[in-house]
């Protein structure tokens, strides 16, 4: 269980994740690095919070400004982040736990392997082998909850 948080500073929002029990401590670290006042907008407690937060960042890329900071249309931050979280959760729930390749991809990602290394490990895929590479990328995206 982890926490995804949405904080606002001036015109930008930070979408972050923390496993720390003391969220105030994490927010204190952010405040020390920020010249503007920081306001907590919303906190979500979720299983797979780190994986969900990473996928949310990918889905909200058009609003991305720097690191974990985003500039959302006025008044739409919570709605956009919640919609992204729900979409990722639905995607994760739809994965077949019986599929050994998807399970292996998720397991390797959790231990920190890069996408390229995971594809090589699970599919013996190389970018030059076009169809095998496309299949491997599709499986990876499905396992990471990126399929729309």
Residue 142's nearest CA partner among 122, 128, 126 is: 122
- Given this model, what pLDDT does residue 124 score? 65
86/117 same-domain check: no
Residue 14 β-bridge partners: 7, 69
Mean pLDDT taken over the chain? 81
20/80 same-domain check: yes
Encoding tokens for residue 148?
């729309």
Asked whether residue 117 is domain-assigned, the answer is: yes
Q: Which residue has the tokens 């960042």?
A: 57
* Alpha carbon distance 13, 70 (integer Å): 5
10/76 same-domain check: yes
Return all residues near 132 (Cβ < 8 A) that are at least 6 apart: 123, 124, 125, 126
Q: What is the CA radius of gyration of the chain?
A: 17
Band (pLDDT 50/70/90 cuts) for residue 147 is: very low
- Given this model, what pLDDT does residue 95 score? 58
Residue span of the structural domain in which 113 resides: 100-143
CA atoms within 13 A on the CB side of 98: 0
Please give the model's pTM, rounded to 2 decimal places: 0.64
Rounded to a whole number, what is the distance in angstroms from the first to the last CA of the chain? Answer: 24
50/116 same-domain check: no
Asked whether residue 130 is domain-assigned, the answer is: yes
Question: Model confidence over 102-131: pLDDT tens digits?
Answer: 777 777 776 667 777 777 777 665 555 667
Domain count, the chain: 2
Asked whether residue 87 is domain-assigned, the answer is: yes
């Amino acid at each position: 269980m982890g926490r995804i948080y949405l904080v606002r500073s001036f015109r930008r929002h930070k979408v972050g994740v923390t496993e720390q029990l003391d969220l105030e401590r994490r927010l204190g670290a952010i405040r020390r690095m920020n010249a503007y006042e920081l306001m907590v907008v919303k906190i979500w407690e979720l299983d797979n919070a780190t994986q969900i937060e990473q996928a949310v960042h990918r889905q909200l890329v058009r609003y991305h400004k720097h690191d974990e900071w985003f500039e959302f249309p006025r008044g739409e931050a919570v709605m956009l982040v919640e919609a992204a979280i729900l979409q990722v959760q639905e995607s994760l729930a739809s994965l077949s736990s019986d599929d050994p390749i998807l399970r292996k991809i998720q397991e390797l990602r959790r231990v920190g392997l890069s996408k390229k290394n995971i594809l090589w490990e699970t599919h013996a895929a190389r970018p030059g082998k076009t169809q095998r590479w496309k299949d491997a990328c599709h499986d990876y995206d499905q396992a990471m909850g990126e399929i729309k």
